[in-house]
Structure formats: structure tokens, C-alpha cells
Amino acid sequence: MALNDTAIRNSKPKATPYKLSDGGGLFLLVNTNGSRWWRYSYRFDGKQKTISLGVYPDVSLKDARAKHAEARKTLAQGVNPSVDRKLEKAARIEDGKNSFEFLARDWVATQLKRLTQSHRDRTLKRFELYLFPWIGNQPIKSIKAPDLLECLRRIQKLNKLETAHRTLQATGQVFRYAVQQGLAPRDITADLRGAIPATTVKHMASLTEPDQVADLLKAIEGFTGGLIVQHALKLAPLVFVRPGELRRAKWADIDLKSAEWKYQVSKTKTEHIVPLSKQALAIFNALHPVSGNREFVFPGAHDPKKPMSDAAINAALKRLGYDTQNDITGHGFRAMARTILHERLNYDPLIIEQQLAHKVPDALGAAYNRTKFLAQRKLMMQHWADYLDALRLGLNVVAIKGKVA
């Protein structure tokens, strides 16, 4: 006699386990502790076998019968349902290891380990917010371009075009990582080129007129915030490195005797040299008694074992009354130097780009070389520092290379 829901609900535990049969080998095992397990008993190769089909009420009578029918179908094909289920479980585990989320996290951990922690966190955050909830648990080989595009469209509807493009770019790298391991046939992101509208290029806010720069330098000179931020703010226009490279400057990379700062550029992974002007050197010398016993030149206020906050420079500029969206940002010192060095001080753009640590191959296609134009760059950096001093002090300046009058 077949089971019904009422009979199952009314089943009570006894001194010993007992079975409630549903026919065809399917039964409900009622244990002494009250738990109720679905079982399917069958014969295979002349031997009695039993497999579990789940726990009631998580698996209802209807669900148990569906699983029972599937197992009987497998048995009719000459396959042991127990072995078949083990293979399915192994396949599910394997699919989990080959899922987009698993591979994306693995890619961030292994392939981005040379980048900053903040960069890795931002990349992973995009995956967690915009991709994992929808395609994270899918085997990467099964994800189609329309599946990914649907996720990117969600980002686009939030008016975050740049985020959509960055997410697509990172996803492409994950797919190529999977292709290299034989886990995906190809990089599907190639099919989505042009699917998301291009972003409008927004340049970092900067000041490029001498009178504006003069006002900024005077404001910086009068900054009364913390000593570490104060010195970082004064150094920023002198060296015009990327803000992340400034705040993560390490004493091990500063050679006070040769007046050089050598480090690896975070963006291009190339070795770079910043010749230090007398003014820049004076700032490092002033800071050495303060932080010279630590790893970072500009240690964090809350944890001196870590570098200064990435928001510190912009926060200081805001305190000085500057709008970091429209006037000047920590990154804007680079545009300021590039423009004035070329337009006012007549320096060759190739020399300027080299000092900015941009990868600009020469006519022969030579790769970036950290010592290229080094002699000229040393002169330029000192001239630049002298020019800024002259602006700050209100002295007359002339656009003659290497001279400030």
C-alpha cells in the first residue's frame, strides 16, 4: 500500500527503527530519535543495495518518488544508482572548483598578488557585487556572452559605465586564466566589444596656470595639519609621482646620498628613478628623524606599520579650500608638471614622459629604461623645484631651460 502525507506525519519513533513502504523498493525509515530518512532498496549484480534519497520533510513524498523513479531508470539501463550518484557528486564538486567565482577568486589571489591590496580588494568587490550573485556558481565553460552582458547591463543602468568596463576587462582576464588551464574553450568577453557605451574621459582636476600654482603652493606652505601629511603635501608637486607611490614610499628605496628615489612603478611594473631636487631632499631629511626607523616614509596615523591613507592628500587639499573634483587632486600634480614643464619651461615631452614613468617607446621601439635621459631629468627636476619656489615666493620667473631668475 502506497504512503500518503498523513501517514508520514503521524509516524512516531519506536523502540527500534521501522520502515514505511511506498512500493518498488522505496521506503521511509523512521529512527528511534524521530528522524525520517528516505531509502531505496534494490538488487544489482545479484547483491542487495540501499541508497539514501534524503530526509523528510526536507525531501517531500513527491520529491522522494521523483528521485526513486530516476534511480530505477538508471538501474534499468544497467547502471548502479549508487555509483551513478557518486559520479554526479564528484561532478558537482568539480564544477564548483571550475565555477566562475572559484576561478575569479583564485585569479585575484594568484595573478594580482604583485599589485596593491586596495587594487585587489576593488577588483574582487566588483565581482562580488555585480557578477557572483548571477553567474558565480556556474562552471566557467558554460557561461555565454549574453549571460555576462546581462550582468554588465545592470551596472550600466546604475550609470556606472567605467565600472562596467573595468568589470568586463577583469572578467576577460579571468576567462583567459581559465583558458590557460584548459577550463574554458575561449574568452567570451571578446564577443562583447562595443556592447557597453564608451565612457567619457574625465581628466584628473589640475591647475596649470602659474598664478594658480603660486596660490596653491602658498596654501600648502601654510598647511597646519599633521606633520606626515604636511610633508607629503609639500613633496607631491616636487616629485609628481602617482599618489599611491607617494604614500607607499619606503625608506629602503630612498638614497639620500645620491639624491635618488628608486622604486617599481605599480601601474607598469617597471623600475623607475626619481632624481631628488635639493628641495625634495630637504623634505626627506626632515622626515628621517620622524619615520626613518619605520618601513614607510609616510606611515599611517592609526597604524604606523601601514602607509598613510590614500585619502590623506585629497583631504588635506580640501582643508585648504580646494575642490578635488574641479580644482586639484593628488593625481593632478602630474598634469600640472607635464603641462608647465613643456609649455612654460620648454622641456622635451619625451623627457617629461620618461619622468612620469609612462611607457613611451622611442623611434626604434626600445622598451622603457629607467636610466634613460637621467642626466637631463636631474637637471629638469632641480629646475622644476626652483621654478616652484620662485612662484611660491612671488619672484620673477623666465622660461629658459635650466634657469630661474
**Would residue 144 show up in a list of annotated catalytic residues for this protein?**
no
Q: Which residue out of 242, 262, 342, 344 is catalytically annotated? A: 242
Sheet of 26-30: strand order equals 18-23, 26-30, 36-44, 47-56
Is the backbone peptide bond immediately before 57 cis, with ω within 30 degrees of 0?
yes
Residues facing 21 on adjacent strands: 27
CA angle at 305 for the pair 301 and 310, rounded to the nearest 5°: 55
Please say whether the dihedral angle defined by the alpha carbons of residues 100, 101, 104 and 106, taken in this order, is positive or negative.
Answer: negative
Catalytic residue among 120, 166, 358, 378: 358
CA 277 – CA 378 distance, rounded (Å):
8
Helices 161-180 + 145-157 axis angle, to 10: 160
Active-site residue among 67, 248, 272, 334? Answer: 334
Residue tagged active-site, from 130, 347, 368, 387: 368
Q: Is 242 one of the catalytic residues?
A: yes
First to last CA, the chain: 108
Q: How far is CA 283 from CA 7, 240, 296, 377, in A?
A: 85, 14, 14, 19
Contacts of 165 (CB under 8 A, 6+ apart): 196, 199
CA dihedral defined by 393, 398, 399, 402, rounded to 10 degrees? -80
Q: Give catalytic status of residue 334 as yes or no.
A: yes
Contact status, residue 19 vs residue 32, Cβ threshold 8 Å: no
For residues 309-327, one letter each, b for 16 or more C-beta atoms within 10 angstroms of the residue's C-beta and e for the rest, the string is eeebbbebbeebebebeeb
231: annotated active-site residue:
no
Residue-by-residue DSSP string for 326-367:
TT--TTHHHHHHHHHHHHTT---HHHHHHHTT-----TT-PP
Which of 97, 144, 153, 267 is flagged as catalytic? 267
- Cβ pair 324, 336 in contact under 8 A: no
Assess whether 331 carries a catalytic annotation.
yes
What cell was used for 44? 544489482
Q: Known catalytic residue: 165?
A: no
Angle (CA) 125-128-133 rounded to 5° is 165
**Catalytic residue of the set 65, 331, 377, 392:** 331
Residue 112, helix vs strand vs coil: coil
DSSP 53: E
CA–CA dist 279, 389 (Å, integer) = 9
Catalytic residues: 242, 267, 331, 334, 358, 368
